[in-house]
Amino acid sequence: MEQVTLDKIKKLFCLEGKVAVITGGAGALGESIAAGLAVYGADIVVTGRTIATLEAAVKGVEKLGRKALAVACDVSKEADVINLVQQTVDTFGKIDILVTVAGIAKRYPAEEFPAEDFQQVMDINVKGTFLTCKHVGRVMKEQGFGKIITISSVRGFAGHPGGYAAYGPSKAAVDGLTKQLATEWAKYNITVNAIAPTIFWTPLTQQVLEDEKLKQVFLSRIPLGRAAVTEDMVGATVYLAAPASDFVTGQILYVDGGCTAG
């Protein structure tokens, strides 16, 4: 094999010199994704609604020898998102990777779902993802390069008896947005893909973890027989952020132990 090809193959998962923005960076998955991308070489911007909650993520990245910046940003507010993008560009001069992790879940029986809770889920999960992609996308368009990874869920693929009348549709909208942006922005060399995990045990899924019967229902639907763990999520994110996935766009990558396969 030619040396030039071998050199490219060796760098398929290299993120050195890249700048990644991660929304929801103080959350369970956000913090691991920040650390994961830093391990493979990226400098990291973590965002959350308050700076204080981002300290651990920043320290984790710096310990790995990468640069880290924390910016307060409520993703459902456009002015906050504009400020996030401006601060990132002022500090690092570019944005190569965006991972939209910020999200919430609320569960009620559909017939009792409060309209304001439904709206809040949509505002954060759908509008928040859209606004972040919109403003980071503008920078990526100028650069002629970008990798956007949205965080969806298997609940965007299929319904579930557990009260997901807002969360499920919000993640289905994230899937739709991912495919839309992938087709619209391919001409700018921006790839847009979603990761749709099944359940992890994090604060977001505490309600399920505390209900042994419901927990068993969830596990019984996963052929590999366990919940997802940090490494599952980091592996998928590094792949979609790295040159290894340069010809992959508009895809929903199910990190789900096989539960959407059958």
- Closer by beta carbon to ligand NAD, 74 or else 175: 74
| Residue 128 touches ligand NAD, criterion: CB under 6 A | yes
Report the residue from 18, 20, 21, 24 that binds ligand NAD according to the rule CB under 6 A: 24
Task: Give the separation between CA 94 and CA 114, rounded to whole angstroms.
Answer: 41
Q: Residue written as tokens 């050195």?
A: 16
Report the residue from 89, 104, 209, 217 that binds ligand NAD according to the rule CB under 6 A: 104
- Closer by beta carbon to ligand NAD, 127 or else 179: 127
Report the residue from 197, 236, 238, 249 that binds ligand NAD according to the rule CB under 6 A: 197
Residue 146 contacts residue 100 (beta carbons within 8 Å): no
254 assigned to active site: no
Instruction: Compute φ and ψ for 226, nearest 5 degrees.
Output: -150, 165
| Residue 257 touches ligand NAD, criterion: CB under 6 A | no
| Residue 54 touches ligand NAD, criterion: CB under 6 A | no
Beta-strand ranges (E) seen in 73-139 are 97-100
- Closer by beta carbon to ligand NAD, 222 or else 248: 222
Question: How deeply is 4 buried, as exposed, middle or buried, from its count of CB atoms within 10 A (0-12, 13-18, 19+)?
Answer: exposed
The 3-class secondary structure across 112-170, one letter per residue, is HCCHHHHHHHHHHHHHHHHHHHHHHHHHHHHHCCEEEEEECCHHHCCCCCCCECCHHHH
| Residue 178 touches ligand NAD, criterion: CB under 6 A | no
Of residues 40, 108, 164, 167, which has the active-site annotation? Answer: 167
Residue 177 contacts residue 236 (beta carbons within 8 Å): no
Report the residue from 83, 143, 202, 230 that binds ligand NAD according to the rule CB under 6 A: 202
Which residues are marked as active site?
Answer: 167
The residues of the shown chain that bind ligand NAD, judged by CB under 6 A, are 23-24, 26-30, 48-49, 74-76, 101-105, 124, 128, 151, 153, 197, 199-200, 202-205
